[in-house]
């Protein structure tokens, strides 16, 4: 079983703060990494994908990948109450034989209070 680990939270930050979400994975063959946001009762929606070591920024979101340490993180700057949701880390492993097999973490619940 390939494992993706996340702190379940809840993580609570004030509006305007930086929220930091972390994820570790067990399989060194992992190549593609994704962050999804899921509001209560809704389906996951993609926030960011990252494939190479380093940082990738998109608006208020920054994904960070460190393959040597097997972790991927998501930073949310200037957090807003509308960012309150569960954030799912997902990893693809062995794309050659397991087409698009995403392994999901349990998710971290984020609450941004006004």
Partner 1 sequence: ETGVTQTPRHLVMGMTNKKSLKCEQHLGHNAMYWYKQSAKKPLELMFVYSLEERVENNSVPSRFSPECPNSSHLFLHLHTLQPEDSALYLCASSQDHPSQETQYFGPGTRLLVL
Q: Which parts of this chain interact with partner 1 (CB under 8 A)?
A: 4, 32, 34, 36, 41-46, 49, 51, 88, 92, 95, 98-107
Pair type for strands 85-93 and 45-50: unpaired
R_g (Cα) of the chain, nearest Å: 14
The 3-state DSSP class for residue 82 equals helix
CB of 11 to partner 1, least distance (A): 17
Nearer to partner 1, 15 or 45 (CB): 45
Nearer to partner 1, 53 or 98 (CB): 98
CB of 16 to partner 1, least distance (A): 30
Nearer to partner 1, 42 or 77 (CB): 42
In this structure, are residues 25 and 3 in contact, taking their beta carbons and an 8 Å threshold?
yes
Q: Retrieve residue 57's tokens.
A: 């920024």
Q: Retrieve residue 68's tokens.
A: 């040597």
Residues comprising the chain, all counted:
114
CB of 37 to partner 1, least distance (A): 11
Nearer to partner 1, 21 or 79 (CB): 21
């Amino acid at each position: 079983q390939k494992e993706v680990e996340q702190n379940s939270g809840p993580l609570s930050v004030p509006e305007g703060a930086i929220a930091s979400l972390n994820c570790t994975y067990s399989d060194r063959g992992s190549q593609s990494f994704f962050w999804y946001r899921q509001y209560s009762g809704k389906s996951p929606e993609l926030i960011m994908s990252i494939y190479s070591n380093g940082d990738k920024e998109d608006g208020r979101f920054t994904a960070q990948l460190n393959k040597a340490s097997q972790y991927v993180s998501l930073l949310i700057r200037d957090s807003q109450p509308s960012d309150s949701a569960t954030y799912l880390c997902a990893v693809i492993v062995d794309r050659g034989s397991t087409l698009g097999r995403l392994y999901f973490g349990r998710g971290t619940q984020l609450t941004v209070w006004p």
